[in-house]
A and B are shown apart, each in its own frame.
Chain A
Amino acid sequence: TMFATQVYGDNGKMKEYHYTGPVEHRFSPYSFNGGTVLAVAGEDFAIVASDTRLSEGYSIHSRDSPKCYKLTDTTVIGCSGFHGDCLTLTKIIDARLKMYKHSNNKCMTSGAIAAMLSTILYGRRFFPYYVYNIIGGLDEEGKGAVYSFDPVGSYQRDTYKAGGSASAMLQPLLDNQIGFKNMEGVQHLPLSQEKAVQLVKDVFISAAERDVYTGDALRICIVTKDGIKEETVPLRKD
């Protein structure tokens, strides 16, 4: 079925597979399309990665729908949640970026984009964009920056963040491997780009094992001062 009704319960998963009696159907403007996004900030790079599966309920709409969107030469945004709102939101951000460029004769910095996105999201405080955003890019000093958001615009700068359906599975692993949490007597080595990319791949492979909404392929965008490089890695298709 193409339109979302109350038959879909918490988190977009179908409430009951078998008919068990009268069910009240209500139109919901939201739908949950799954997907997981991850961003990591390094010393002079940033990585934004997402899976490419687009689902709805028990169906997969597409196996090639990446959730990373390039905003500027130094910023990439990952959006997961309701695909309709993801598309509209990225269109709005692109338009605002253009407006800023025309008025101020310069590109928006990552920090400025983050602050702007916060007010765009809060503008719909009473009918939110059902999107979990994570921005990854380079700040004005060339250092890696990650900004994570909630659906109504609360944001903060992080070193690493996972968002979307498998976020609760990824985040603890990142806390341990990048944040060195709950490890004693371990040397805090700075994260190299190669190690970060390998970690991202491993983490998504694990997520695809246990989250039904994550899988098919992984799209990695690596942001450095030389530009944005994209890499695609296959994941479980089941």
Chain B
Amino acid sequence: MALASVLQSESVDFSNYGRQRHGFASGLYEAELGLESVGGDRLSFALSTSCSNGDGPDRKIEFLHGTTTLAFKFQHGVIVAVDSRATAGSYIASQTVKKVIEINPYLLGTMAGGAADCSFWERLLARQCRVYELRNKERISVAAASKLLANMVYQYKGMGLSMGTMVCGWDKTGPGLYYVDSEGNRVCGDLFAVGSGSMYAYGIVDSGLKQKDLTVEEACDLGRRAIYQATYRDAYSGGQVNLYHVHSEGWTRVSQSDVLMLHQQYQAEKA
């Protein structure tokens, strides 16, 4: 398996031990996909169920179910906007998480679900994309990159990985946007929002995208506003809004805005 070979560690005897039951109180990420990843009874060990008594690590691993990430295609490329809050239960573990992973200068990946799962597998994806470039002497397409990621995590399906990511880039077919998750979904689309605050974000982006042909600045404002509104209403999203724009030359980091500052700015605009 990819995990064992990369880390050169002997395959773990208790490899199915730590499988978590996704009984999170918010249960929001899984709920959106209409899926329930229960540990399952693959193990003959009765030990697997003792995790559920709230042992430290199972409860305190940082899961970014509470999150809002979005990406949408428009005339001039792809806009990617994310919040920056990470929660461990109801404790806010960090307000400064980088939920956009820079896979390479023309590919971005977003993070939702398990923080370690997302950053590890997307870092591995970066490695695979580089190998592809060296072997084929050309950049990897967004479709191929997202497929690599989907296939990597599919091997671990049912083992408790939690990852909901959007692979965004620009290749020779134009702007590319794929949603990939740890359940095995891989879908191409023009607009995705992932996380507990996604419904609020969808509302803003759907209404803003009605008018066609957005300029880069309008699209950035739309993405920023959508995340801000999501952080306003979703307790599990917050911190800062990180905004990226993917265009034909690659991606650009547009802005990082503190949500409190945005709030004051929008209040002032209303007046």
Measured CB to CB, the residues of A under 8 A from B are 6, 9-12, 26-30, 32, 81-82, 118-119, 121-130, 132, 148, 150-154, 156, 158, 168
Task: Please give 6 more A-B residue pairs, beta carbons under 8 A apart, in addition to A26-B50, A122-B116, A153-B120.
Answer: A6-B53, A11-B56, A123-B3, A126-B14, A126-B15, A126-B160
B96 engages A28 (CB within 8 Å): no
CA distance A122 to B121 in the complex (A): 10
A156 engages B98 (CB within 8 Å): yes
Inter-chain contacts of A148 with B (CB < 8 A): 94
B160 engages A152 (CB within 8 Å): no
Expressed in whole angstroms, the minimum distance between the Cβ of B63 and any Cβ of chain A is 9
Out of B57, B98, B117, name the residue touching A128 (CB < 8 Å): B57
Given A82-B56, A154-B62, A168-B91: A123 and B9 within 8 A (CB)?
yes
B60 engages A151 (CB within 8 Å): yes
| From A126, A129, A154, residue with most partner B Cβ within 10 Å | A154
Expressed in whole angstroms, the minimum distance between the Cβ of A152 and any Cβ of chain B is 4
CA distance A150 to B18 in the complex (A): 15
CA distance A6 to B17 in the complex (A): 16
CA distance A153 to B96 in the complex (A): 17
B116 engages A130 (CB within 8 Å): no
Inter-chain contacts of A30 with B (CB < 8 A): 55-57
CA distance A26 to B59 in the complex (A): 18
A153 engages B17 (CB within 8 Å): no
B93-137 vs A: 1/0 string, CB under 8 Å?
Answer: 110111000000000000000111101100000000000000000
Inter-chain contacts of A81 with B (CB < 8 A): 56-57
B271 at the interface (CB under 8 A from A): no
Given A82-B56, A123-B7, A126-B159: A158 and B50 within 8 A (CB)?
no
CA distance A181 to B214 in the complex (A): 36
Inter-chain contacts of B3 with A (CB < 8 A): 122-123, 125
B60 engages A10 (CB within 8 Å): no
Expressed in whole angstroms, the minimum distance between the Cβ of B99 and any Cβ of chain A is 11
Inter-chain contacts of A129 with B (CB < 8 A): 57
B34 at the interface (CB under 8 A from A): no
Given A122-B116, A156-B94, A168-B91: A151 and B61 within 8 A (CB)?
yes
Given A119-B7, A123-B9, A126-B18: A154 and B57 within 8 A (CB)?
no
Inter-chain contacts of B61 with A (CB < 8 A): 128, 150-152
B85 at the interface (CB under 8 A from A): no
Inter-chain contacts of A125 with B (CB < 8 A): 3, 18, 116-117, 120, 161
CA distance A152 to B18 in the complex (A): 11
CA distance A168 to B87 in the complex (A): 12
Inter-chain contacts of A12 with B (CB < 8 A): 56
| From B9, B47, B50, B56, residue with most partner A Cβ within 10 Å | B56
| From B116, B120, B159, B160, residue with most partner A Cβ within 10 Å | B116
A127 engages B12 (CB within 8 Å): yes
A122 engages B50 (CB within 8 Å): no
Out of B18, B62, B114, name the residue touching A127 (CB < 8 Å): B18
Inter-chain contacts of A153 with B (CB < 8 A): 116, 119-120
Inter-chain contacts of A118 with B (CB < 8 A): 116, 119-120
7 contacts across the A-B interface (CB closer than 8 A): A30-B55, A125-B116, A151-B61, A152-B116, A156-B94, A156-B97, A168-B91
Expressed in whole angstroms, the minimum distance between the Cβ of B198 and any Cβ of chain A is 21
CA distance A154 to B54 in the complex (A): 20
Please name the residue on chain B nearest to A5 by beta carbon: B50
Expressed in whole angstroms, the minimum distance between the Cβ of A161 and any Cβ of chain B is 8
Which 3 pairs between the two chains have the least Cβ-Cβ distance? A154-B115, A154-B116, A152-B116
B42-68 vs A: 1/0 string, CB under 8 Å?
Answer: 000001001001111101111000000
